[in-house]
Chain A
Amino acid sequence: MVRILAATVLASVLTAGPAAAQNKIQIGCTATSDCASAMLAIDEGVFRKHGIEAEMVLIGINSNIPAAILSNSIQVGGPTSTVFLQAADGGLDLVAIGGATVMSPVTNNNIAAFVKNGITINSPKDFIGKKVGAPGLGAFLHVLFVKWLIEKGVDPKQVNFVEVTFPTMMDIMKSGSVDAVLTGEPFVTRMTNAGLGSVGARYASELNRTEPIIFYAASREWAEKNPEVVKKFRAAIAETAPVVNDDREKASVSISKFTKQPIELVKATPPNRSEPVLKPEQLAWWIEIMSSQKMLQSKMDLNKLILK
């Protein structure tokens, strides 16, 4: 009897292990507000309600997310559209499983090319010959800025781009090593208050787009093996995305907890607009502008990039 009991317990432990593990996911994002819907779904117990055990993993650099997904260190990641498309273009078998954030009038207004004191930007042509710091070459803000320059008839090759990470922007601007930085809030306000310069262009506002900034992605293999988890993940995100957009207080607490940024700083900036639904045509725009900037080599199949 004892043996049978022991065997039953052992069998249940052995079979319960993988089953439980399948519903356990790690979500990797950088220290921004873009994965707020996932952060909130953890803090408010929405994932648990849907039968998922989720955990957030803070990732230093967005471009590391595709490799982290493929190594199964994280099952879901929040790459920017540019990082995702470049990884997929490079042959990494990634698939988008849901939307995180999209550009919106409010958040577009947070994005700026901030110029140092003594430089006046009257038209996009004034950026010619200037040294402009971007958080990453080929990163979201950089690609958008290049698109804006092209639309305004400026050859981006005439602008010198260098990489400047967000946390060092303020000090780099203070030292005068660059003429401008491509940045967003809370850095624009902080640099303005410190008297380091002024906003040279609100280029995202002028582009006025509504395409995705960041979306949730997984490896195709994992997503196809775990359709139930993906379904539950989507349901949970669909439930928390409106809360992120409507309840700044709640969203700020979760964002501050994950990014470790002081709560006052997080509260001062509206989070990027959460949008749980991701449509193929939203990626088409990104593919088009990235191809025109020669950032993509292959012809990408939109229907394959987003999991049905």
Chain B
Amino acid sequence: MMADRVKALALPVSLLLIFEIWARSVHLHSDSLAPPSAIVVALWSALADGAILTATRDTLLSAFAGLFLGGSIGLALGILLGLLQPVDRLMEVTIEAIRPIPSIALLPIALIALGFGYRMEIAIVGFACVWPVLILTRAAVREVEPRLMEVSHALRLSPADRVRKIVVPAALPRIFVAFRLAAGIALIVAVTVEIAINPIGLGAAIMAAQQGLQADLMLAYLFWIGLIGFGLNAGLNLMQARLFGRAALVRDDA
């Protein structure tokens, strides 16, 4: 297992080495590329002066707050629409009309309405996160074993108890998958908002480094964002496996 992982690393490491040698041999003169060694040095200095950590905090704070906000709305709507078919039919046109709007297209309005800072970013991330959670939750709720619903009827559970005791536990593994998907989207949207407009976080730091003609620092931030995305996904996968065990693995393919 371990040996396989080492083998898998062989290709990217050799590519980096080749790039390093090439960059040094041609005395790379670029505002967009930098040798890997320079990127490592830039990453180290950004970590040492705390700049990268502050930017990471800003980006993750916005991404998670947006995920929480959008996810909660998506979850509530998803359960509602999954349980009540007439409401689902009634809302279908509205949802399908709003859903395709790219969250980034809302930036100009969001900037004027909310200004720079966390609020605008959280609102945009929240908007982007509503839809995957809503749609996957709705599907998950609809696919709850009919016999479980019959049991809830037989027990004469109140609607709130039915959701709490039957629907959510039965649909939870798939709802978690929805949140995992939304977490990835949240990070992408947060960084994009920062690159486009918001002067905080990792996206803004990439732009500042690019405009400061510091390609090494720009790529260091890019690498760091990749690491964060990887870490986030790995953490959520681990959580999913721990919380739902085999149920999660089966459902993940669905």
Residues of A close to B116: CB separation below 8 A:
57, 68, 71, 73-74
| Stretch in A1-9, A10-18, A166-174 touching the partner | A166-174
A274 CA / B3 CA spacing, docked (Å): 63
Residues of B close to A243: CB separation below 8 A:
none
* B211 near A259: Cβ-Cβ < 8 Å: yes
In the assembled complex, the CB of A292 is this many whole angstroms from the nearest CB of chain B, namely 28
Name B27's closest neighbour in chain A (CB-CB): A194
A167 CA / B217 CA spacing, docked (Å): 13
* B33 near A171: Cβ-Cβ < 8 Å: yes
* B213 near A265: Cβ-Cβ < 8 Å: yes
Name B117's closest neighbour in chain A (CB-CB): A73
The number of residues on chain A lying at the interface, defined by a beta carbon within 8 Å of a beta carbon of chain B, is: 30
Is the C-beta of B60 less than 8 angstroms from some C-beta in chain A? no
Residues of B close to A166: CB separation below 8 A:
211
In the assembled complex, the CB of B87 is this many whole angstroms from the nearest CB of chain A, namely 36
Is the C-beta of A304 less than 8 angstroms from some C-beta in chain B? no
Is the C-beta of B197 less than 8 angstroms from some C-beta in chain A? yes
Is the C-beta of A291 less than 8 angstroms from some C-beta in chain B? no
Give a binary string over B93-124; 1 marks a CB under 8 Å from any A CB, 0 the rest.
Answer: 00000000000000010011111110000000
Residue from A60, A169, A194 in contact with B29 in the complex, judged by beta carbons closer than 8 Å: A194
In the assembled complex, the CB of B60 is this many whole angstroms from the nearest CB of chain A, namely 20
* B30 near A60: Cβ-Cβ < 8 Å: no
Give a binary string over B144-185; 1 marks a CB under 8 Å from any A CB, 0 the rest.
Answer: 000000000000000000000000000000000000000000
Residues of A close to B29: CB separation below 8 A:
170, 194
Residues of A close to B112: CB separation below 8 A:
67, 70-71
* B213 near A171: Cβ-Cβ < 8 Å: no
Max count, chain A CB within 10 A of own CB: residue among B30, B32, B199:
B199
* A31 near B208: Cβ-Cβ < 8 Å: yes
* A71 near B111: Cβ-Cβ < 8 Å: yes
* A168 near B211: Cβ-Cβ < 8 Å: no
Residues of B close to A169: CB separation below 8 A:
31
Residues of A close to B195: CB separation below 8 A:
60
In the assembled complex, the CB of A210 is this many whole angstroms from the nearest CB of chain B, namely 27
* B114 near A31: Cβ-Cβ < 8 Å: no
In the assembled complex, the CB of B214 is this many whole angstroms from the nearest CB of chain A, namely 7
Residue from B114, B199, B213 in contact with A58 in the complex, judged by beta carbons closer than 8 Å: B199
* A71 near B208: Cβ-Cβ < 8 Å: no
Is the C-beta of A262 less than 8 angstroms from some C-beta in chain B? yes
Instruction: Tell me which residues from 189 to 242 in chain B have a Cβ below 8 Å from any Cβ of chain A.
Output: 195-197, 199, 204, 207-214
A303 CA / B108 CA spacing, docked (Å): 28
In the assembled complex, the CB of B216 is this many whole angstroms from the nearest CB of chain A, namely 11
Is the C-beta of A261 less than 8 angstroms from some C-beta in chain B? yes
* A261 near B213: Cβ-Cβ < 8 Å: yes
Is the C-beta of A282 less than 8 angstroms from some C-beta in chain B? no
Max count, chain B CB within 10 A of own CB: residue among A73, A166, A261:
A73
Residues of B close to A59: CB separation below 8 A:
199
Residue from B197, B208, B213 in contact with A64 in the complex, judged by beta carbons closer than 8 Å: B197
A148 CA / B210 CA spacing, docked (Å): 30
Max count, chain B CB within 10 A of own CB: residue among A58, A60, A72, A260:
A60
Instruction: Tell me which residues from 20 to 39 in chain B have a Cβ below 8 Å from any Cβ of chain A.
Output: 29-33
In the assembled complex, the CB of A54 is this many whole angstroms from the nearest CB of chain B, namely 16
Name B218's closest neighbour in chain A (CB-CB): A167
Instruction: Tell me which residues from 179 to 194 in chain A have a Cβ below 8 Å from any Cβ of chain B.
Output: 190, 194
* A262 near B213: Cβ-Cβ < 8 Å: yes
Residue from B32, B113, B115, B199 in contact with A60 in the complex, judged by beta carbons closer than 8 Å: B199
Name A174's closest neighbour in chain B (CB-CB): B30
Instruction: Tell me which residues from 241 to 260 in chain A have a Cβ below 8 Å from any Cβ of chain B.
Output: 259-260
* B212 near A260: Cβ-Cβ < 8 Å: yes
* B213 near A60: Cβ-Cβ < 8 Å: no
Residues of A close to B212: CB separation below 8 A:
31, 259-262
A61 CA / B211 CA spacing, docked (Å): 10
* B115 near A168: Cβ-Cβ < 8 Å: no
* B32 near A167: Cβ-Cβ < 8 Å: yes
Name A74's closest neighbour in chain B (CB-CB): B116
A170 CA / B211 CA spacing, docked (Å): 13
**Contact of A170 with B111 at beta-carbon distance under 8 Å, contacts A58-B199, A260-B209 already known:** no
* A67 near B111: Cβ-Cβ < 8 Å: yes
6 contacts between A and B (CB under 8 A): A57-B116, A58-B211, A71-B111, A168-B32, A259-B212, A260-B208
Identify the A interface with B (CB < 8 A): 28, 30-31, 57-61, 64, 67-68, 70-74, 166-171, 174, 190, 194, 259-262, 265
Name 9 extra pairs, CB < 8 A, besides A31-B212, A61-B197, A174-B30: A60-B196, A71-B111, A74-B116, A167-B32, A167-B210, A168-B32, A259-B212, A260-B211, A262-B212
User: Ordered nearest first, which 7 A-B pairs have the shortest CB separation?
Assistant: A260-B212, A71-B115, A73-B116, A73-B115, A31-B211, A67-B111, A60-B207
